[in-house]
Amino acid sequence: MAKQDQVLILNPPSEIKFTGPFTEIVQTDLELTNPSSRKVMFKVKTTAPKRYCVRPNSGIIEPGAKLSITLMLQPYNHEQQNEKNKHKFMVQSMFAPDGHIENPETLWKEASPDVLMDAKLRCVFEDPTVRIFTNNL
């Protein structure tokens, strides 16, 4: 079976923008909206888990509800500058079963790949403290 399209609506839809300076924690928000008539379980993953704090990083969104996720980039030094260009986030989701969910982690582990949905977001970094000088000759 083909992979399902992501049911959640992400805002922003494809890029997460962090605005520096990056010498302190920088945070931004990701909004998840569930337009469906069913509860949706979600997880937010990153390619650089030591560099980010995500709150909440998993949960359940009720039908028609919105949830704001806070993404926090840890301070970094100039040696780590090039690595951040490869950072990405993935929002993974699946429809939640009816009734009480005793252990969501078990559901994720036992989920068939054809019921999982995901959306990938790349990271964009803007540092207003970096000036670009042009020489007008």
- Domain-by-domain residue ranges, the chain? 9-126
CB-based contacts of 64, cutoff 8 Å, min separation 6: 34, 35, 37
What type of residue sits at position 10? L
Contact 111, 94 (CB under 8 A): yes
Per-residue pLDDT, 1: 45
Per-residue pLDDT, 101: 83
CATH superfamily of 9-126: Immunoglobulins (2.60.40.10)
Beta-ladder partners of 67: 32
For the ranges 66-75, 78-87, 98-107, which has the lowest average pLDDT?
Answer: 78-87
Mean predicted confidence (pLDDT) in 10-17: 96
Per-residue pLDDT, 21: 86
Mean residue pLDDT across the chain: 88
Mean predicted confidence (pLDDT) in 6-10: 95
For β-strands 52-55 and 66-73, DSSP reports them as: antiparallel
Classify residue 40 as exposed, middle or buried by CB count within 10 Å of its CB (0-12, 13-18, 19+): buried
Per-residue pLDDT, 83: 65
How far, in Å, CA of 135 to CA of 137, rounded? 6
Contact 68, 96 (CB under 8 A): no
Per-residue pLDDT, 81: 63
For the ranges 55-59, 60-64, 126-130, which has the lowest average pLDDT?
Answer: 126-130
Per-residue pLDDT, 22: 87
- Percentage of the residues of the chain whose pLDDT score is greater than 70: 85
Mean predicted confidence (pLDDT) in 27-33: 97
